[in-house]
């Protein structure tokens, strides 16, 4: 199939999963369970996971999904490439019935994302990076438009989590008293950077690899960076511990 076919498959998977999520969202009839780490789980998460697995399985590439059985590192360490999936990023926002939730799919090779797809179904916003290293945004049925981070040496707008604003993040933000603060959920924080709506996203709290991989790819394609805190090193994927270190996204 090759990279072009894989990108097409991942986009189709994200759209179909997003439609399934919206059927649950619009029904207003769903229960919330809690996993061992107390993160919420709904039938929308599960339905989206099953759709994505079905769509990506024909590629023959291993799949690592938040809602799947996690493959042990003894097996994962031999993967030269794999899909990493968050079927519903921002379940807390979904449960609160705000629209800041996304479907995230990325292809990882050599510990870095090759391309990523982020779909926000309630907002009808679709973002992706392509094989030529460009980033795109599509609103509803409108035409796709190439997006770029804004070239700004000054930090004028900071984006932060709506549900996970840590004390350390707040202290970092206070270093820029003249900057505007924009809070939003899920991987849409990265997308705000990618499309030129903000300059910086500090994340000094826990995230997992599937939370960041797709958005990481899109930010890079748009001209931005995703680096570990106090380092020029990027985030790496397929670590033994799938927990990300603290990081900063910059335009």
Local confidence pLDDT in tens for the 251 residues of the chain = 678 899 999 999 999 999 999 999 998 777 777 777 767 778 899 999 999 999 999 999 999 999 998 999 999 999 999 999 999 999 888 888 899 999 999 999 999 999 999 999 999 999 999 999 999 999 999 999 999 999 878 899 999 987 677 889 999 999 999 999 999 999 999 999 999 999 999 999 999 999 999 999 999 999 999 999 999 999 999 999 999 999 999 99
Q: What is the CA radius of gyration of the chain?
A: 17
- Burial of residue 81 (CB within 10 Å: 0-12, 13-18, 19+) is middle
How far out from the chain centre does Cα 157 lie? 20
pLDDT at 1: 61
| Helices 2-27 & 43-56 angle (0-180, nearest 10) | 160
pTM of the model: 0.95
Q: How far apart are CA 73 and CA 75, in angstroms?
A: 5
pLDDT at 166: 84
pLDDT at 165: 77
What token pair was written down for 56? 């990506």
Kindly list the structural domains of the chain, giving each domain's residue range(s) and its CATH number in brackets, ordered by start.
Answer: 2-146 (3.30.540.10), 157-250 (3.40.190.80)
């Amino acid at each position: 199939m090759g990279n072009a076919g894989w990108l097409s498959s991942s986009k189709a998977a994200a759209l179909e999963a997003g439609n399934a999520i919206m059927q649950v969202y619009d029904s207003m009839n769903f229960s919330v369970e809690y996993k061992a780490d107390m993160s919420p789980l709904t039938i929308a998460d599960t339905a989206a996971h099953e759709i994505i697995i079905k769509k990506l399985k024909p590629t023959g590439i291993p799949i690592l999904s938040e809602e799947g059985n996690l493959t042990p590192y003894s097996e994962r360490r031999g993967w030269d490439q794999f899909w990493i999936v968050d079927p519903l990023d921002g379940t807390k926002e979904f449960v609160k019935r705000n629209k800041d939730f996304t479907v995230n799919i990325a292809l990882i090779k050599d510990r870095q994302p090759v391309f990523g797809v982020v779909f926000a179904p309630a907002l009808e916003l679709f973002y992706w990076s392509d094989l030529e290293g460009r980033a795109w945004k599509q609103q509803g049925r409108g035409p796709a438009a190439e997006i770029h981070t804004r070239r700004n040496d000054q930090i004028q707008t900071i984006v932060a989590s709506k549900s996970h604003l840590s004390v350390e993040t707040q202290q970092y933000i206070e270093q820029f008293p003249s900057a505007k603060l924009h809070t939003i959920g899920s991987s849409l924080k990265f997308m705000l950077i990618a499309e030129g709506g903000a300059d910086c996203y500090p994340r000094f709290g826990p995230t997992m690899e599937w939370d960041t991989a797709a958005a990481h790819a899109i930010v890079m394609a748009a001209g931005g960076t995703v680096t570990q805190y106090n380092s020029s090193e990027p985030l790496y994927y397929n670590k033994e511990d799938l927990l990300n270190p603290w990081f900063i996204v910059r335009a």
